């Protein structure tokens, strides 16, 4: 019997663990090793340089830029997506009529949910290519076309979207336009998530509140929102990961993958630029290790902040 | 699941709407809402409708532009009704844009990779969740760590590893379907194991013990008792993996570059990126829109048919 268990466990684990070690763990370990060398990537020549790459990292103008752009997305993507998703979920669930059964959801909320969820099933590449056409910097683009038609902007002076490095509120305009896409594609998913969480709050909680004379706004802000805290914090962590991974949009949509003039660089695009365009693999690996440490610290921090007693019901 | 609003016609979809005659009567009996409530209801509808249009309009615009001529795309970019339906845009994107073969490649790769991900992922998760042995925690945390590390960190060595592998075993080298399948499986294992691990933990032990008493072997117990019991979890993680691997673009871009003369084994995401780069030179706008439409519609249709499962499957993936 005991012997059988050992054979069974090994047999079941061998393949998954083997694949994982070869295609995931080993590359990560190698990357950490390369980050200590000056390897260019194409030659076999590599020299151990110690922490030189890491020291260089701190004085790299491009990395400083990328860092702040990452921080920008890290704050704004979760903030705007969650705010919009909560607002939509609120309207959907308490925007309906009021009667003896309590406050209702709006009519047709099922249909709204189906539609809002659309972007979630589209791939990032489809979204990026589609928005490339929406954001075209001439009358052929959807947004410029509409705005020209209703006369809000002049035909000779269209919005340049992805080619606009001018800062708005201290952040390059191109980043704001990318943010809009992220919020557009994420809001529906998190609305469905919040909606489901709202519906799993037991009815008696609401009945008690309504008996006490609470209106729908009070009920929402004093009861629903606090009880959603767990779900919102999980959503925040997930959106944080998405915000770190805006690379698909940057790669496909911005000029020279991080432009114009490095205005939309993020960590991933700087790694890509250094590794595949400048041929500095060692240095690129050092940036990636720094990003990994940054990510892990952030995840730990978020888990610490959001950890709280669960409310059981 | 109890809900605040789950009386008929409340949160339910249009398919469950109450008979139209009853609603006004009941509302009258209850005295109706206050003016404020009615205003709020109107505002809710307005805002929700505006957002719905913001989601649907761009998609519709892409589909409709795919049916126009190039001249029409340039002359009347905003119109949603093509003068004459140009189906040959689709034919052109399918053959000349290689969307057809990219599609086939994607389906081929996904068939293998999703199946293997589910099988190997639940095998590993089951053993880690249900059997105590030295190194259990270590392996579990090794899988878990893959969730936080950014893929870009591994990019360069992964490419090199695959390249070197191709020298020894050509069918596992760059631009090979089998290689991409294995890479997808490896990179999907972290989340699959994590998800199924927590699922197997919650399954009752009594049934497994009964099976043991009846003389079932460990692997038989897994395949004919535990796996069927884990079906809801498998559906969730299955949907998650199908969409996740269908959407993958970074790994294929890194590993599936075809050198001149080699067959084009790229997947659909790469095909779209290629199309969007090329159309800039050839200004084949309608062909591009047709390509995007073809990449978008199958998933959307599957989603609309299975919307309930997809929604709950994906949200379960987050709330675990």
Cβ atoms of residues A244 and A73 within 8 Å:
yes
Q: What is the pLDDT of residue B138?
A: 92
A44 located within any domain: no
Residue A165 clears pLDDT 80, i.e. is over it: no
B226 touches chain A (CB under 8 A): no
B266 class by beta-carbon count within 10 Å (0-12 exposed, 13-18 middle, 19+ buried): buried
The boundaries of the domain holding residue B72 are: 33-92
| A positions 18-77 inside 8 Å of B (CB) | 19-20, 22-28, 30-31, 34, 41
Give the residues of chain B that fall short of pLDDT 50: 1-32
Cβ atoms of residues B290 and B92 within 8 Å:
yes
Out of A104-108, A171-175, A203-207, A308-312, give the one with best mean pLDDT: A171-175
Judgement on whether residues B240 and B269 belong to the same structural domain of the protein: yes
Judgement on whether residues B209 and B268 belong to the same structural domain of the protein: yes
B28 located within any domain: no
Residue A99 clears pLDDT 60, i.e. is over it: no
B310 touches chain A (CB under 8 A): yes
Q: What is the pLDDT of residue B311?
A: 80
B293 located within any domain: no
Residue B142's closest chain A neighbor by CA? A25
A249 touches chain B (CB under 8 A): no
CATH number, domain of B107, equals 1.10.3720.10
**What confidence tier does A101 reach under pLDDT thresholds 50, 70, 90?**
low
**What confidence tier does A234 reach under pLDDT thresholds 50, 70, 90?**
confident
| B positions 80-119 inside 8 Å of A (CB) | none
Number of structural domains, chain A? 1
B215 touches chain A (CB under 8 A): no
Q: What is the pLDDT of residue A312?
A: 56
Residues of A in contact with B218 (CB under 8 A): 4-5, 8
Q: What sign for the dihedral angle of Cα A63, A69, A73, A76?
A: positive
A96 touches chain B (CB under 8 A): yes
How does DSSP classify residue B18? P
Mean pLDDT across A85-112: 74
Q: What is the pLDDT of residue B123?
A: 94
- Determine the distance in angstroms separating the CA of B263 from the nearest CA of chain A, rounded to an integer: 23
- Determine the distance in angstroms separating the CA of A310 from the nearest CA of chain B, rounded to an integer: 14
Q: What is the pLDDT of residue A13?
A: 92
Residue A109 clears pLDDT 50, i.e. is over it: yes
B137 located within any domain: yes
Q: What sign for the dihedral angle of Cα A168, A174, A176, A177?
A: positive
Judgement on whether residues B145 and B275 belong to the same structural domain of the protein: yes
Rounded Cα distance between B221 and B211, Å, is 7
Helices (H), B131-176: 136-145, 151-168
Residue B308's closest chain A neighbor by CA? A114
Contact check, Cβ <8 Å, B54/A20: no
The boundaries of the domain holding residue A170 are: 61-279
Judgement on whether residues B68 and B161 belong to the same structural domain of the protein: no
- Compute how many other C-beta atoms are within 10 angstroms of the C-beta atom of residue B290: 29
Percent of chain A's residues with pLDDT above 90:
12
Q: What is the pTM of this model?
A: 0.83
| A positions 138-177 inside 8 Å of B (CB) | 139-142, 145-146, 149
b/e sequence B234-257, b meaning 16+ C-beta within 10 Å: bbbbbbbbbbbbbbbbbbbbbbbe
- Determine the distance in angstroms separating the CA of B85 from the nearest CA of chain A, rounded to an integer: 19
Judgement on whether residues B182 and B86 belong to the same structural domain of the protein: no
Residues of A in contact with B318 (CB under 8 A): 193, 234-235, 238
Residues of B in contact with A286 (CB under 8 A): none
Rounded Cα distance between A207 and A212, Å, is 9
User: For the segment A1-16, what is each residue's pLDDT rounded down to a tens digit?
Assistant: 456 788 888 889 999 9
Q: What is the pLDDT of residue B281?
A: 64
Q: What is the pLDDT of residue B253?
A: 87
**Among B50, B62, B45, B244, CA closest to B151:** B244
Judgement on whether residues B72 and B165 belong to the same structural domain of the protein: no
Rounded Cα distance between B197 and B177, Å, is 29
B266 touches chain A (CB under 8 A): no
**Among B206, B202, B96, B186, CA closest to B146:** B186
Phi-psi bin for A102: left (phi > 0), alpha (psi -120 to 50), beta?
left
Cβ atoms of residues A131 and A144 within 8 Å:
no
Number of structural domains, chain B? 2
User: For the segment A263-304, what is each residue's pLDDT rounded down to a tens digit?
Assistant: 888 888 888 888 888 888 888 889 888 888 888 888 788 777
B131 — phi, psi (to 5°)?
A: -120, 140
Residue A97 clears pLDDT 70, i.e. is over it: no
- Residue with the bigger pLDDT between A283 and A259: it is A283
B177 located within any domain: yes
Judgement on whether residues B174 and B71 belong to the same structural domain of the protein: no
Q: Which residue among A115, A139, A288 sits closest to B153, beta carbon to beta carbon?
A: A288
A286 located within any domain: no
**What confidence tier does A310 reach under pLDDT thresholds 50, 70, 90?**
low
A112 touches chain B (CB under 8 A): yes
Rounded Cα distance between A144 and A278, Å, is 36
Percent of chain A's residues with pLDDT above 70:
93
A207 located within any domain: yes
Cβ atoms of residues A7 and B108 within 8 Å:
no
Q: Which residue among A23, A41, A146 sits closest to B183, beta carbon to beta carbon?
A: A23
Q: What is the pLDDT of residue B292?
A: 87
A184 located within any domain: yes
Q: What is the pLDDT of residue B23?
A: 41
Q: What is the pLDDT of residue B124?
A: 94
A253 touches chain B (CB under 8 A): no
**Among A37, A44, A61, A46, CA closest to A283:** A37
> In Å, how far from its chain's centre is CA B123?
22
Interface pTM, i.e. ipTM: 0.82
B78 touches chain A (CB under 8 A): yes
- Determine the distance in angstroms separating the CA of A121 from the nearest CA of chain B, rounded to an integer: 7
Across chain A, mean pLDDT equals 83
Domain boundary among the residues B92, B107, B128 is at B92
B159 — phi, psi (to 5°)?
A: -60, -45
């Amino acid at each position: 019997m005991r012997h059988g268990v050992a054979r069974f466990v090994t047999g079941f684990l061998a393949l998954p663990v083997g694949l994982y070690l070869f295609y995931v763990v080993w590359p990560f370990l190698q990357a950490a090793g390369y980050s200590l060398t000056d390897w260019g990537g194409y030659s076999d020549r590599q020299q151990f340089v110690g922490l030189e790459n890491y020291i260089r990292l701190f004085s790299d103008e491009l990395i400083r830029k990328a860092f702040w752009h990452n921080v920008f997305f890290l704050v704004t993507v979760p903030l705007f997506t969650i705010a919009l998703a909560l607002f939509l979920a609120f309207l959907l669930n308490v925007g309906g009529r009021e009667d003896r059964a309590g406050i209702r959801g709006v009519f047709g909320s099922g249909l709204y949910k189906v539609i809002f969820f659309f972007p979630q099933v589209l791939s990032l590449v489809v979204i990026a290519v589609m928005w490339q056409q929406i954001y075209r910097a001439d009358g052929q683009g959807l947004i410029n076309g509409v705005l020209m038609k209703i006369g809000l902007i002049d035909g000779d002076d269209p919005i340049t979207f992805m080619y606009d490095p001018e800062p708005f509120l201290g952040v390059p305009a191109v980043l704001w336009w990318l943010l809009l896409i992220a919020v557009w594609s994420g809001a529906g998913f998190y609305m469905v998530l919040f909606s489901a969480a709202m519906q799993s709050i037991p009815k008696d909680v609401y009945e008690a509140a309504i008996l006490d004379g609470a209106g729908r706004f009070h009920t929402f802000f004093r009861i629903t929102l606090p009880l959603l805290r767990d779900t919102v914090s999980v959503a925040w962590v997930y959106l944080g990961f998405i915000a770190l991974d805006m690379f698909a949009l940057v790669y496909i949509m911005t000029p020279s993958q991080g432009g114009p003039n490095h205005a939309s660089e993020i960590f991933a695009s700087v790694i890509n630029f250094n590794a595949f365009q400048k041929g500095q693999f060692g240095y690129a690996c050092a940036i990636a290790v720094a990003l990994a440490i940054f990510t892990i610290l952030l995840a730990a921090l978020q888990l610490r902040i959001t950890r709280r007693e669960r409310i059981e019901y | 699941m109890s809900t605040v609003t789950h009386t008929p016609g409340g949160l339910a979809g249009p398919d469950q709407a109450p008979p139209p005659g009853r609603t006004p009567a009941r509302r009258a009996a209850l005295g109706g809402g206050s003016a404020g409530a009615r205003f709020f209801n109107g505002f809710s509808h307005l805002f929700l409708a505006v957002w719905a249009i913001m989601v649907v309009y761009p998609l519709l615009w892409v589909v409709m532009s795919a049916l126009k001529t190039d001249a029409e795309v340039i002359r009347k970019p905003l119109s949603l009704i093509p003068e004459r339906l140009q189906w040959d845009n689709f034919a052109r994107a399918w053959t000349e844009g290689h969307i057809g073969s990219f599609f086939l490649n994607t389906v081929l790769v996904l068939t293998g990779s999703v199946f293997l991900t589910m099988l190997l992922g639940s095998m590993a998760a089951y053993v880690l969740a249900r059997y105590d042995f030295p190194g259990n925690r270590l392996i579990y945390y090794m899988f878990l760590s893959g969730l936080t590390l950014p893929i870009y960190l591994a990019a360069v060595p992964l490419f090199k590893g695959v390249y070197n592998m191709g020298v020894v075993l050509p069918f596992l080298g760059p631009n090979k379907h089998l290689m991409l399948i294995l890479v997808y499986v490896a990179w999907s294992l972290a989340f699959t194991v994590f998800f199924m691990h927590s699922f197997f933990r919650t399954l009752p032990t009594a049934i497994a013990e009964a099976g043991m008493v009846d003389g079932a072997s460990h692997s038989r117990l897994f395949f004919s008792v535990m796996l069927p019991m884990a079906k809801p979890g498998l559906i969730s993680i299955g949907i998650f993996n199908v969409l996740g691997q269908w959407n993958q673009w970074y790994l294929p871009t890194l590993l599936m570059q075809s050198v001149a003369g080699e067959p084009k084994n790229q997947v659909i995401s790469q095909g779209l990126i290629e199309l969007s780069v090329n159309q800039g030179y050839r200004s084949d706008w309608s062909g591009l829109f047709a390509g995007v439409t073809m990449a978008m519609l199958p998933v959307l249709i599957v989603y609309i048919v299975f919307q309930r499962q997809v929604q709950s499957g994906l949200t379960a993936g987050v709330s675990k």
